[in-house]
Chains A and B, each alone.
Chain A
Amino acid sequence: GAVVSQHPSWVICKSGTSVKIECRSLDFQATTMFWYRQFPKQSLMLMATSNEGSKATYEQGVEKDKFLINHASLTLSTLTVTSAHPEDSSFYICSADPVTSYEQYFGPGTRLTVT
Chain B
Amino acid sequence: QKEVEQNSGPLSVPEGAIASLNCTYSDRGSQSFFWYRQYSGKSPELIMSIYSNGDKEDGRFTAQLNKASQYVSLLIRDSQPSDSATYLCAVKDSGGGADGLTFGKGTHLIIQP
Residues of A within 8 A of B (CB): 31-32, 34, 36, 42-46, 49, 59, 91, 93, 95, 97, 99, 102-109
Rank and list the top 4 A-B pairs by shortest CB-CB distance, nearest first: A46-B100, A109-B43, A106-B43, A43-B103
Q: How distant is the Cα of A77 from the Cα of B96 in the complex, in angstroms?
A: 20
Q: Apart from A46-B100, A59-B100, A106-B46, what 15 extra A-B contacts exist at CB < 8 Å?
A: A31-B97, A34-B100, A43-B106, A44-B101, A44-B103, A46-B101, A49-B99, A99-B97, A102-B32, A102-B95, A103-B46, A103-B49, A104-B46, A106-B36, A107-B43
* Contact call A102/B97, Cβ cutoff below 8 A: yes
Least CB distance, A106 to chain B, in whole angstroms: 5
Distance A93 CA – B103 CA, assembled complex (angstroms):
13
Contact A106 B45 (CB under 8 A): yes
Tell me the residues in window 89-113 of chain B with beta carbons closer than 8 Å to chain A beta carbons.
92, 95-106
* Chain B positions near chain A (C-beta within 8 angstroms): 32, 34, 36, 42-46, 49, 51, 88, 92, 95-106
Q: A32-B97, A102-B32, A102-B96 are in contact. Are A43 and B104 (CB under 8 A)?
A: yes
Q: Which residue of A lies closest to B99 (CB)?
A: A49
Which chain A positions have C-beta within 8 A of B51? 102
A102-B95, A102-B96 as given contacts; A43 in contact with B105, CB under 8 Å:
yes
Q: Is the CB of B46 within 8 A of A105?
A: yes
Q: Which of B46, B95, B98 contacts A32 (CB 8 A)?
A: B98
Q: Which residues of B contact A93 (CB under 8 A)?
A: 43-44
Q: A43-B105, A102-B92 are in contact. Are A49 and B100 (CB under 8 A)?
A: yes
Smallest CB gap from A41: residue in B: B105
A105's nearest neighbour on chain B, judged by CB, is B46
Chain B residues with CB under 8 A of A106: 36, 43-46
Determine how close the nearest CB of chain A comes to the CB of B43; give it in whole angstroms: 4
User: Which residue, B42, B44, B98, B100, has most C-beta atoms of chain A within 10 A?
Assistant: B100
